[in-house]
C-alpha cells in the first residue's frame, strides 16, 4: 500500500504534547483572568452563514475568507453558503443581536476560540490562530469606567503569564480628531489620513511623519504641536496637563479628555501599577471601527513582536443585525502568534508536566498493587500514570524521563514485603524508600496537587 | 440600512452564557478526568489537507465532509484542497505518524475539540459537535491492561459529571468471531453479517435476530447458543464461566477470552464498582475498524439516548501514513449530543455561576472604594464583577439576579462612614451588614473560592 505523507496544512500551528501543556497553561491563565473579573463565557460555531458573515463587501478581510461547503452541496452545483469566522467580533455582534432579549446588559463576555484567515503563507503568519477576546457591550450607553477595567484585566493576565515586562499603551481617538477639528481640519477624510500617518510614527520616524502631515496641508506650527503631543514621554498626568494646556474647546476633544482622565483615575483605584500603562497619543489604530479609547500592548524587551493585545471602544457593535444601539469596548489577545514569538525567543513560561507521578510495573505479579496505588493517589489529588506494558524498569524510567514526568514510584517484591515504596526523583536523580502508609503525606512536601 | 437577520447555521449548538457555563463545566470535568489518569493534551488544526484526510474513498463519512477553500483559491478556479475533520481519530493517526520520532510510546493522549459532518439537518443531529477522545497508542504492541484502564477513567468522569446512573457495556469482538470460526463459520464476509445482525438486538429484538441468523445459514442450535450468550444477564464472572463452558478452542476465541478475563481482574484492582460495567456480548459495533475490546456507555434511565461514550481496540492506527505498526485503544464522548439530550430531559448538572459577587455602585462618589474592594476580593480568590454603569440600585440588583450572580455587595454613604459593607444574598433574599475588615473571613463561610 502507498503511504500518504502525514502533514498539516500550511499556516497552522500544531504542538507536541509538552508544548501543548504550555499553550494550555496560557489559555487557562487567560480564561481565569477573564473570569476573575466577572466575565461570562461564549462560544460560537466555527462557521457562519455567508450572508451573515460577509456584510462589508470588498473589505481586505473578505479577500481572506475561507468558504465551507459540504460534499452534497458541492455535488448539487451550489455555491458555498458557509464561511469560517475571521475574527470573534462579527460573531459577537451576530450573537448579541440574535440573543438580545435573553442577555443582560452591560453584557460582559469572553470568548477564546480559533479564527481563520487565508493569509499568504510565511513564517509567523497563521491561517488558523487563537483569539482570546473580552468585550463589554452596553445597551444605548456604556460608561467610560469600563474602558479602565479592561486594561486592568489584561495587566493581571500578562503578569500571571510571566512573559516579561510589558506596557499597555492607550489613547482616545477623540483627542486627535477633536484637536484637528479645533485647528480647523474637520474634513473626515483628511482627519483619517492624518491619523494614518501618525500611526506610522514607529515605523518611519518623526521627520517623515512631519513631512507627511505638512504634505496633507497642516501648517508647520500645527504639525509640530501634534508631534510634540504624540511623542510626549512624560507621565499620564503630565500629558493630560499638556492636553489641557492646548485649551482646545472642540466638544469632541473635551469629551476625549474627560474619558482619558477618568481612565487614569480608575486605573489607580483598580491598583494597576503606574508603569504598566502608558498614555500614548501615537496609538491611533488604523481601524475606523474604533471611536474612543484605543489600546495596544507591547512586550518591553521585544517591541518587534508588535502589539500582542489590542482593542478599543466602538460606538455601535451590531448595527448590521439590529436597530438597537450597542456601544462596547473590547480587547483581544492573539495567542497563537504570541506563543510562536515567545517560543522563537525562548521566552515561554516554565510549566510543570500535567502528569506528576509514573507508577512503574516492576513485577507483573504485583499489578493489582500498582493499579490500586494509582487509584489511591488520584483520589488524593495527583495526576498519575500507571505503566501497564511489561518492560524493563530502565525502559520505563527512560519513558518517564523523556516524557517529562518528574517522579516515578517503584515497588518490587522486596519493597512490597517490607510494606515500602521507592520514590525516584527523575530530575534530581535521587531516590527515597519509605513506608507506603506515609507516601501521601510525604508527597505533599515533594509536589503540589494539580487542582 | 437593511438589517440582516442574525442567525446561526443549521446543525450548530450555540448556548446562552448560563448554559455555556454548564457546558464548560462538563468539558472541564472530562479534561480533569483524563489528566488525572496521566494523559497528555493534543490539539490539531480544524482542517486537514484533503488528500491526507480523505483516504478511504467512497465511505459514508466521506459523503458528509465539508470542504474548505479560500477566496483566492476560489477565484483562481482551483478545487478545494482542505477539508474539516469529521472525527479526531484520523487527525490522531496523522499526528502520531507525523511526529512518531518525537513521541514516547505508549502514547497516551486526550483531545477535546469540535468535529464537522454534513448531516441532514434534524433535531438532535449536529453538523458541528464536540468530541472528547482518549486513546493509548503502542508501538508494535499494546498490553490488554490498557483496555481496562480506559473504562475506569470514563467511570470516574461520568460519576463526576453527575448525570445519573450509567453502565459501560463491553465485549471483545474476538469472542464472537472466534466462536463463529469454531462453529465452522470462518468466512469473513459472513462473520461480518452475523455481527451486524447481532448489533441490531436492541432495536429489533431476539426473535427477529434469530430469524436473521438462521437466514444466514446458522443452524438453529448454534443460533440459540449465540443468542443465549449475547442475552446473558448474569455477572461478568458468570458470563466468563459460560464462555469457558463452550470449550471452543479456536485461537481467536481463546485470545479474546484471555483479554476479557484480564479486563475483569484489572477493573477490580482499579476500584471500579461492580455495577458500573457490564460484560455484554451483544455489543458488536458495526465498525470493522475495531479488532478486540469494544465499549458502549448507556445512561441507565435513558437507553434511548443511545451510547454516550463508545470506542474500542484497533490493531493498527496509522497504516495509511506510516509503515510502523501502531495498535491502540480509545474511547470518545460525544459531548454536544449528550448535553443536548440531558438538556431536553432537564438532567443537566447544577453548576454555580462563574461570577460569585457583584459589587454595586450606589454612590458614584465612592467609585474608588468599589474598585479597590473588587481588586481585594479578586486577590482573595473570588470572581467579582464591579457594576460600573450609573444606575438605580434596584436595577443593579435585578441585573445580578437575572444574570444568576448569587451575592451583591452594597456600600452607601452610611455603610462607608461606619466602615461597614452590606452583603445581599439574592437567592435567600437575605442581607447582612458587617465590618469591611471582616468581609473576606466571613465570605469563606458563604461561598467557595473558584480555584
Q: For chain B, give the secondary structure using H, E and C.
A: CCCCCCCCCCCCCCCCHHHHHHHHHHHHHHHHHHHHCCCEECCCCCEEEHHHHCCCCCCCHHHHCEEEEEHHHHHCCCCCCEEECCCCHHHHHHHHHHCHHHCCCCEEEEEEEEEECCCCCCCCCCCEEEEEEEEEECCCCCCCHHHHHHHHHHHHHHHHHCCCCEEEEEEEHHHHHHHHHHCCCCCHHHHHHHHHHHHCHHHHCHHHHHHHHHHCCCCHHHHHHHHHHHCCCCCHHHHHHHHHHCCCCCHHHHHHHHHHHHHHHHHHHCCCCHHHEEECCCCCCCCCCCCCEEEEEEECCCHHHCCCEEEEEECCCCCCCCCCCCCEEEEEEEHHHHHHHHHHCCCCCCCCCCCCEEECCCCHHHHHHHHHHHHHHHHCCCCEEECCCCCCHHHHHHHHHHHCCCEEEECCHHHHHHCEEEEEECCCCEEEEEEHHHHHHHHHHHCCCCC
Distance of CA A82 to the CA centre of its chain: 26
Helix, strand, coil shares of chain A, percent, nearest 5, are 45, 20, 35
Of the partner residues B21, B49, B322, the one whose CB lies closest to the CB of residue A40: B21
A124-178 tens-digit pLDDT? 889 999 999 999 999 999 999 999 999 999 999 999 999 999 999 999 999 999 9
- Yes or no, beta carbons of A118 and B20 under 8 Å apart: no
d(CA A43, CA B15): 7
d(CA A111, CA A93): 13
Taking CA atoms, what residue in A is nearest to B143? Answer: A389
B242, B261 contact by CB (below 8 A): no
pLDDT at residue A450 tops 60? no
CB of A205 less than 8 A from some CB of B:
no
According to DSSP, the β-strands at A384-386 and A357-359 are parallel
CB of B263 less than 8 A from some CB of A:
no
Q: How far does A78 lie from chain B, in Å, by closest CA?
A: 13
pLDDT interval class at A59 (50, 70, 90): low
Q: Which fold has domain B357-446?
A: Rossmann fold (3.40.50)
B258, B149 contact by CB (below 8 A): no
Q: Which fold has domain A13-46+85-163+301-311+326-351?
A: BirA Bifunctional Protein; domain 2 (3.30.930)
Taking CA atoms, what residue in B is nearest to A388? Answer: B145
How many distinct helices (H) and strands (E) make up chain A?
17, 16
CB < 8 Å to B14, chain A: 43-45, 95
CB < 8 Å to A93, chain B: 6
* Relative orientation angle of helices A251-269 and A173-182, to the nearest 10 degrees: 150
User: Distance of CA B443 to CAs A38, B241, B425, Å?
Assistant: 17, 58, 11
B289-341 tens-digit pLDDT? 899 999 999 999 999 999 999 999 999 999 999 999 999 999 999 999 999 99
CB of A58 less than 8 A from some CB of B:
no
Pick the residue of A2, A16, A17, A149 with the most B CBs within 10 A to test the interface with B by mutation.
A17
Domain A165-292: homologous superfamily in CATH: Bira Bifunctional Protein; Domain 2 (3.30.930.10)
The predicted pLDDT at position A39 comes to 98
- In terms of phi and psi (left: phi > 0; alpha: psi -120 to 50; beta: otherwise), the region of A48 is beta
Closest CA to A367 of B338, B145, B147, B390: B145
Taking CA atoms, what residue in B is nearest to A70? Answer: B66
Residue range A264-271: mean pLDDT, rounded: 92
Closest CA to B259 of B329, B307, B309: B329
Q: How far does B356 lie from chain A, in Å, by closest CA?
A: 8
| CB burial of residue B391 (10 Å; 0-12, 13-18, 19+) | middle
d(CA A333, CA A311): 9
Of the partner residues A36, A97, A378, the one whose CB lies closest to the CB of residue B383: A36
CB of A28 less than 8 A from some CB of B:
no
The DSSP code for A283 is -
Cell of A127: 491561517
B307, B167 contact by CB (below 8 A): no
User: In chain B, positions 311-370, which contact chain A (CB-CB < 8 Å)?
Assistant: 318-323, 354-355, 357-358, 367-368
The predicted pLDDT at position A287 comes to 62
Taking CA atoms, what residue in A is nearest to B44? Answer: A14
- Yes or no, beta carbons of A114 and B371 under 8 Å apart: no
Q: Output A445 or A7, whichever has higher pLDDT.
A: A7
User: In chain B, positions 209-248, which contact chain A (CB-CB < 8 Å)?
Assistant: none
- Yes or no, beta carbons of B6 and A109 under 8 Å apart: no
Q: Which residues contact A76 (CB under 8 A, 6 or more apart)?
A: none
- Yes or no, beta carbons of A43 and B399 under 8 Å apart: no
How confident is the prediction for chain A on average, in pLDDT? 93
Grid cell 505518524 in the structure block, residue: B97
* Relative orientation angle of helices B188-199 and B206-215, to the nearest 10 degrees: 170
**Residue A425 β-bridge partners:** A407, A430
What order of strands is seen across the sheet that includes strand B47-49?
Answer: A47-49, A82-84, A66-70, B66-70, B82-84, B47-49
Cell of B142: 499494546
d(CA A138, CA A140): 6
User: In chain B, positions 112-131, which contact chain A (CB-CB < 8 Å)?
Assistant: 114, 116, 118, 128
Taking chain A, what is the end-to-end CA distance rounded to the nearest angstrom?
Answer: 47
d(CA B127, CA A49): 13
d(CA A110, CA B354): 12
Taking CA atoms, what residue in B is nearest to A380? Answer: B36
Q: Which residues contact A189 (CB under 8 A, 6 or more apart)?
A: none
Of the partner residues A4, A46, A321, the one whose CB lies closest to the CB of residue B320: A4
d(CA A167, CA A298): 5
CB of A101 less than 8 A from some CB of B:
no
- Yes or no, beta carbons of B6 and A367 under 8 Å apart: no
Other beta carbons less than 10 A from residue B335's beta carbon? 22
pLDDT interval class at A451 (50, 70, 90): very low
- Yes or no, beta carbons of B41 and A20 under 8 Å apart: yes
DSSP A42-94: ----SEEEHHHH--STT-TGGGGPEEEEEHHHHHTTPPP-EEE-S-SHHHHHH
Q: Which residues contact A204 (CB under 8 A, 6 or more apart)?
A: none
Q: How far does A10 lie from chain B, in Å, by closest CA?
A: 9
- Yes or no, beta carbons of A389 and B143 under 8 Å apart: yes
* Relative orientation angle of helices B220-230 and B173-182, to the nearest 10 degrees: 160
Cell of A124: 509567523
- Yes or no, beta carbons of B389 and A142 under 8 Å apart: yes
Of the partner residues B71, B118, B405, the one whose CB lies closest to the CB of residue A72: B118
Of the partner residues B47, B66, B93, the one whose CB lies closest to the CB of residue A70: B66
The DSSP code for A365 is G
- Yes or no, beta carbons of A372 and B51 under 8 Å apart: no
Taking CA atoms, what residue in A is nearest to B99? Answer: A16
- Yes or no, beta carbons of A49 and B7 under 8 Å apart: yes
- Yes or no, beta carbons of A321 and B269 under 8 Å apart: no
CB < 8 Å to B372, chain A: 269-271
User: In chain B, positions 136-165, which contact chain A (CB-CB < 8 Å)?
Assistant: 138, 141-143, 145-146, 149, 156
- Yes or no, beta carbons of B355 and A389 under 8 Å apart: no
User: Distance of CA A107 to CAs A308, B367, B383, B388, B394, Å?
Assistant: 24, 20, 16, 12, 18
pLDDT (tens digit, 0 to 9) for every residue of chain B, 451 residues total?
A: 689 999 999 999 999 999 999 999 999 999 999 999 999 999 999 999 999 998 764 466 667 899 999 988 888 888 889 999 999 999 999 999 999 999 999 999 999 999 999 988 788 889 999 999 999 999 999 999 999 999 999 999 999 999 999 999 999 999 999 999 999 998 988 998 998 888 888 889 999 999 999 999 899 999 999 999 999 999 999 999 999 999 999 999 999 999 999 999 999 989 999 999 999 999 876 667 899 999 999 999 999 999 999 999 999 999 999 999 999 999 999 999 999 999 999 999 999 999 999 999 999 999 999 999 999 999 999 999 999 999 999 999 999 999 999 999 999 999 999 999 999 999 888 999 999 999 999 998 887 654 4
A398-438 tens-digit pLDDT? 999 999 999 999 999 999 999 999 999 998 889 999 999 99
- Yes or no, beta carbons of A128 and B47 under 8 Å apart: yes
CA atoms within 13 A on the CB side of B399: 26
- Yes or no, beta carbons of B1 and A319 under 8 Å apart: yes
CB of A389 less than 8 A from some CB of B:
yes
d(CA A12, CA B365): 50
Percent of chain A topping pLDDT 90:
82
B227, B209 contact by CB (below 8 A): yes
**Residue B112 β-bridge partners:** B132
According to DSSP, the β-strands at B420-425 and B407-410 are antiparallel
Residues of chain A with CATH 3.30.930.10: 13-46+85-163+301-311+326-351, 165-292
The predicted pLDDT at position B176 comes to 93
Residues of chain B with CATH 3.30.930.10: 12-46+85-158+301-347, 165-292
Taking CA atoms, what residue in A is nearest to B378? Answer: A36
Give the three-state DSSP class for A314: strand
CB < 8 Å to B118, chain A: 70-73
d(CA A383, CA A374): 9
Closest CA to A128 of B408, B73, B45: B45
Q: What is the CATH number of domain B12-46+85-158+301-347?
A: 3.30.930.10
The DSSP code for A120 is P
CB < 8 Å to B74, chain A: 67
The CA dihedral of A28, A34, A40, A46, to the nearest 10 degrees, is: -60
User: Distance of CA A132 to CAs A35, A89, B100, B166, B310, Å?
Assistant: 13, 11, 31, 36, 32
A89-119 tens-digit pLDDT? 999 999 999 999 999 999 999 999 999 999 8
d(CA A74, CA A77): 5
B250, B179 contact by CB (below 8 A): yes
Of the partner residues A38, A69, A320, the one whose CB lies closest to the CB of residue B384: A38
User: Distance of CA B43 to CAs A24, A397, B109, B129, Å?
Assistant: 10, 27, 10, 15
According to DSSP, the β-strands at B277-279 and A66-70 are unpaired
ipTM score here? 0.95
Give the three-state DSSP class for A333: strand
Of the partner residues B36, B94, B268, the one whose CB lies closest to the CB of residue A6: B94
Contacts 24+ apart (CB under 8 A), A188-194: A190/A216, A190/A217, A192/A288, A194/A218, A194/A226
Q: How far does A244 lie from chain B, in Å, by closest CA?
A: 23
Taking CA atoms, what residue in A is nearest to B137? Answer: A389
Amino acid at each position: 500500500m502507498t503511504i500518504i505523507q502525514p502533514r498539516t496544512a500550511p499556516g497552522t500551528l500544531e504542538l507536541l504534547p509538552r508544548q501543548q501543556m504550555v499553550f494550555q497553561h496560557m489559555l487557562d491563565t487567560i480564561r481565569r483572568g477573564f473570569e476573575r473579573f466577572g466575565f461570562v463565557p461564549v462560544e460560537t460555531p466555527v462557521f457562519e452563514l455567508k450572508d451573515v458573515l460577509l456584510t462589508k463587501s470588498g473589505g481586505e478581510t473578505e479577500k481572506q475568507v475561507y468558504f465551507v461547503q459540504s460534499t452534497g452541496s458541492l455535488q448539487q452545483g451550489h455555491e458555498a453558503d458557509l464561511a469560517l469566522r475571521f475574527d470573534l467580533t462579527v460573531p459577537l455582534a451576530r450573537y448579541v443581536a440574535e440573543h438580545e432579549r435573553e442577555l443582560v446588559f452591560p453584557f460582559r463576555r469572553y470568548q477564546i476560540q480559533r479564527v481563520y484567515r487565508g493569509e499568504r503563507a510565511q513564517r509567523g503568519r497563521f491561517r488558523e490562530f487563537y483569539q482570546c477576546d473580552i468585550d463589554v457591550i452596553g445597551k444605548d450607553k456604556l460608561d467610560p469606567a469600563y474602558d479602565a477595567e479592561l486594561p486592568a484585566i489584561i495587566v493581571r493576565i500578562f503578569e500571571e503569564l510571566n512573559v516579561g515586562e510589558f506596557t499597555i499603551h492607550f489613547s482616545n481617538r477623540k483627542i486627535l480628531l477633536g484637536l484637528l477639528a479645533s485647528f480647523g481640519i474637520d474634513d473626515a477624510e483628511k482627519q483619517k489620513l492624518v491619523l494614518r500617518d501618525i500611526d506610522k510614527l514607529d515605523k518611519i520616524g518623526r521627520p517623515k511623519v512631519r513631512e507627511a502631515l505638512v504634505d496633507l496641508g497642516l501648517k508647520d506650527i500645527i504639525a509640530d504641536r501634534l508631534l510634540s503631543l504624540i511623542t510626549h514621554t512624560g507621565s499620564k498626568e503630565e500629558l493630560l496637563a499638556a492636553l489641557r494646556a492646548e485649551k482646545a474647546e472642540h466638544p469632541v476633544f473635551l469629551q476625549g479628555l474627560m474619558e482619558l482622565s477618568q481612565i487614569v483615575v480608575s486605573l489607580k483605584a483598580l491598583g494597576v501599577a503606574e508603569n504598566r500603562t502608558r498614555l500614548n497619543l501615537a496609538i491611533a489604530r488604523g481601524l475606523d471601527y474604533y471611536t474612543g479609547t484605543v489600546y495596544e500592548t507591547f512586550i518591553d524587551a521585544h517591541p518587534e513582536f508588535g502589539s500582542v493585545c489590542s482593542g478599543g471602544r466602538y460606538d455601535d457593535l451590531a448595527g448590521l443585525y439590529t436597530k438597537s444601539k450597542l456601544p462596547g469596548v473590547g480587547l483581544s489577545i492573539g495567542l497563537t502568534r504570541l506563543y510562536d514569538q515567545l517560543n522563537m525567543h525562548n521566552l515561554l513560561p516554565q510549566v510543570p508536566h500535567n502528569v506528576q507521578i509514573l507508577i512503574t510495573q516492576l513485577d507483573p505479579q504485583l499489578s493489582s498493587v500498582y493499579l490500586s496505588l494509582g487509584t489511591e493517589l488520584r483520589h488524593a489529588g495527583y495526576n498519575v500514570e500507571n505503566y501497564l506494558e511489561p518492560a524493563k524498569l530502565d525502559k520505563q524510567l527512560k519513558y518517564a524521563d523523556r516524557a517529562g514526568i518528574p517522579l516515578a514510584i517503584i515497588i518490587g517484591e522486596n519493597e512490597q514485603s517490607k510494606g515500602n515504596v521507592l520514590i525516584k526523583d527523575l530530575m534530581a536523580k535521587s531516590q527515597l524508600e519509605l513506608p507506603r502508609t506515609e507516601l501521601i503525606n510525604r508527597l505533599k512536601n515533594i509536589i503540589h496537587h494539580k487542582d
